[in-house]
């Protein structure tokens, strides 16, 4: 009974959204239409970033308490627990393949495979909350980029736009997700242009910038606290050679 009601509610909401979208497409210019869609993508991606950051913070607080330096033994076992819970979630609850990292997204866009599955709009949030919240050595950039891309892609599928527009909205979601997690809209736009939109004209700059700015504003408005508090110590001039050596080693490793 609940499943039927849920499906009916989903169909009704989808029908109403399609009506609004068709009305907008018929009464406003194409440029304004893209701007409205990019704002919507930025809002949803920003809220997704808020949910992810809040979930990571709560999981970390629950496991480590208010002082992240306490429970040093837990720093060894908690990351293993996070990976185990993530594997169990993917295998027994999600029951689908979950691509991780931005490389798979870049490859899919290069192959014109821009129809991302619906579950990526939430599955990366859940898996990353467990992994990062429990101290796993992964970041939040790739999960938010994948989540934002899935939001843009599925909205484009709902709008039934062409392949170029779908790629643009996917990139808007990726830029909004990155801007929301790092509070850096300009860097997010540059990332989208350099990595995802190499063959798209410059007219896509405005929707990308609007989506990224909207995502950053929404994320900052609803969650302005610092996610991680790391203990730091002052530095002295004697440590400059060590920093220089570290920079050289990092450069050699990246090369």
Q: Work out the pLDDT band at 230, boundaries 50, 70, 90.
A: low
Out of 72-81, 173-182, 239-248, pick the least confident. Answer: 72-81
Predicted pLDDT of residue 68: 52
Read off the CATH number of the domain in which 108 is found.
1.10.3080.10
Predicted pLDDT of residue 2: 47
Once rounded to an integer, what is the mean pLDDT over residues 126-152?
A: 87
Q: Work out the pLDDT band at 67, boundaries 50, 70, 90.
A: low
**Residue ranges in the chain assigned as alpha helix (H):** 2-27, 30-64, 74-88, 102-110, 123-133, 141-159, 163-182, 185-191, 205-222, 240-254
pLDDT digits (tens, 9 = 90+) for 206-217: 999 999 999 999
| CA-based torsion, 103, 107, 110, 115: positive or negative | negative
Does 177 fall in a domain?
yes
Does 224 fall in a domain?
yes
Does 132 fall in a domain?
yes
Does 130 fall in a domain?
yes
pLDDT digits (tens, 9 = 90+) for 27-40: 788 888 889 999 99
Q: Is the pLDDT of residue 70 over 60?
A: no
- Of 190, 158, 188, nearest in space to 176 by CA: 188
| pTM greater than 0.75 | yes
Q: Provide the CA 112 distance to its chain's centre, in angstroms.
A: 20
Domain of residue 35, residue span: 30-254
Higher-scoring residue by pLDDT: 125, 112: 125
Predicted pLDDT of residue 5: 62
Does 23 fall in a domain?
no
- DSSP 8-class letter at 134: T
CB 12 within 8 A of CB 4: no
Predicted pLDDT of residue 239: 81
User: What whole-number distance in Å separates Cα of residue 18 and Cα of residue 10?
Assistant: 12
Does 174 fall in a domain?
yes
Does 85 fall in a domain?
yes
Structural domains in the chain (count): 1
Out of 131-135, 163-167, 208-212, 229-233, pick the least confident. Answer: 229-233
Does 15 fall in a domain?
no
User: What whole-number distance in Å separates Cα of residue 226 and Cα of residue 183?
Assistant: 12
- DSSP 8-class letter at 121: G
- Of 52, 56, 126, 145, nearest in space to 88 by CA: 126
CB 195 within 8 A of CB 169: no
Higher-scoring residue by pLDDT: 209, 101: 209
Higher-scoring residue by pLDDT: 119, 226: 119
């Amino acid at each position: 009974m609940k499943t039927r009601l849920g499906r009916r509610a989903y169909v009704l909401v989808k029908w109403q959204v399609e009506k609004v979208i068709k009305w907008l497409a018929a009464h406003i210019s194409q440029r304004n239409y893209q701007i409205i869609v990019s704002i919507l993508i930025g809002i949803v991606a920003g809220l997704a970033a808020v949910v992810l950051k809040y979930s990571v913070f709560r999981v970390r607080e629950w496991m480590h308490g208010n002082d992240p330096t306490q429970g040093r033994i837990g720093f060894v076992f908690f990351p293993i627990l996070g990976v185990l819970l993530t594997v169990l979630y993917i295998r027994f609850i999600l029951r689908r393949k979950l691509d991780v990292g931005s490389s798979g997204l870049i490859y899919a866009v290069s192959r014109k495979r821009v129809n991302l599955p619906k579950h990526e709009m939430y599955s990366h949030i859940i898996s990353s909350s467990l992994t990062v919240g429990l101290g796993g050595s992964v970041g939040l950039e790739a999960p938010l980029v994948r989540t934002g891309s899935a939001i843009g892609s599925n909205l484009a599928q709902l709008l039934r736009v062409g392949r170029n527009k779908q790629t643009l909205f996917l990139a808007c979601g990726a830029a909004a997700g990155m801007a929301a997690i790092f509070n850096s809209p300009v860097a997010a736009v540059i990332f989208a242009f350099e990595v995802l939109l190499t063959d798209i004209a410059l007219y896509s700059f405005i929707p990308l910038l609007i989506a990224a700015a909207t995502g950053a504003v929404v994320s900052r408005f609803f969650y302005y606290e610092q996610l991680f508090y790391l203990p730091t110590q002052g530095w002295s001039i004697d440590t400059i050679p060590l920093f220089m050596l570290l920079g050289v080693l990092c450069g050699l490793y990246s090369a």
